Amino acid sequence: MTVIYEDNHIIVVNKSSSEIVQGDKTGDVPLSEMVKAYLKEKYQKPGNVFVGVTHRLDRPVSGLVIFAKTSKALSRLNEMFRTSDVHKVYWAIVKDAPKNPEGELVHWLVRNEKQNKSYAYEREVKDSKKAVLRYRTIGRSDNYSLLEVELLTGRHHQIRCQLAKMGCPIKGDLKYGAARSNPDGSICLHARRVHFVHPVSKMPIELEAPLPAGNLWKAFEVES
């Protein structure tokens, strides 16, 4: 966990692919508790430290996660995420180049809770939710393409599912059609940038996360 930004109301960290945002059945220490411990030590706070979870990233995904340090910031950020007023840009390394170098994907996603997986359909079906993203190709290597993805809706596994439906599964993402897993259990999806109006000060905030370690990411970092 690396702190990217902090003020009186929010703290933004760069999550590694092995970390979970909130506690789950694994019993592993979640990022929210790491942030609490960091704040407790930094400010030598007695008792409980308030840290509010505003959104999540899947465990194998890396990048920016925003936490609230006050209840006022939490309620406002929750509303901002609900109304898509927090703009997130992801980088994804995919095996096959998309047919069109850039475009907008619109699908209807159905979440299967038991499988913890979403399925994409070209038209509305029972229990589906509309999912929209924009992508553009910003890098190429011999075997992979680097896509920049802007989320216009926030659905379960949306980027993973929609890119796979387009025929471009994310490197390492076995669940959505990748041929092989990554040695460290990650998938090559990174929450690269975020911009929003601060929920309390109303100042514009724009942040960028450094790329994960690894030769493939490094190669694309040089290109871009």
pLDDT category, 94, cuts 50, 70, 90?
Answer: very high
Q: What is the topology classification, in CATH, of domain 2-223?
A: Pseudouridine synthase (3.30.2350)
Cα 194 from Cα 207, distance rounded (Å): 5
pLDDT category, 218, cuts 50, 70, 90?
Answer: confident
The confidence score (pLDDT) of residue 151 equals 92
CA dihedral angle for residue 167, residue 18, residue 8, residue 5, rounded to 10 degrees: -60
pLDDT in tens, 19-54: 999 877 777 899 999 999 999 999 998 888 999 999
Q: pTM for the whole thing?
A: 0.94
Q: Where are the domains of the chain?
A: 2-223
Three-class SS state of 191: strand
Catalytic residue among 7, 58, 96, 184: 58
The confidence score (pLDDT) of residue 28 equals 86
Asked about 58 being catalytic, the answer comes back as: yes
The confidence score (pLDDT) of residue 220 equals 78
Cα 87 from Cα 149, distance rounded (Å): 11
Contacts of 224 (CB under 8 A, 6+ apart): 138, 139, 146
Residue 38, H or E segment = helix 31-43
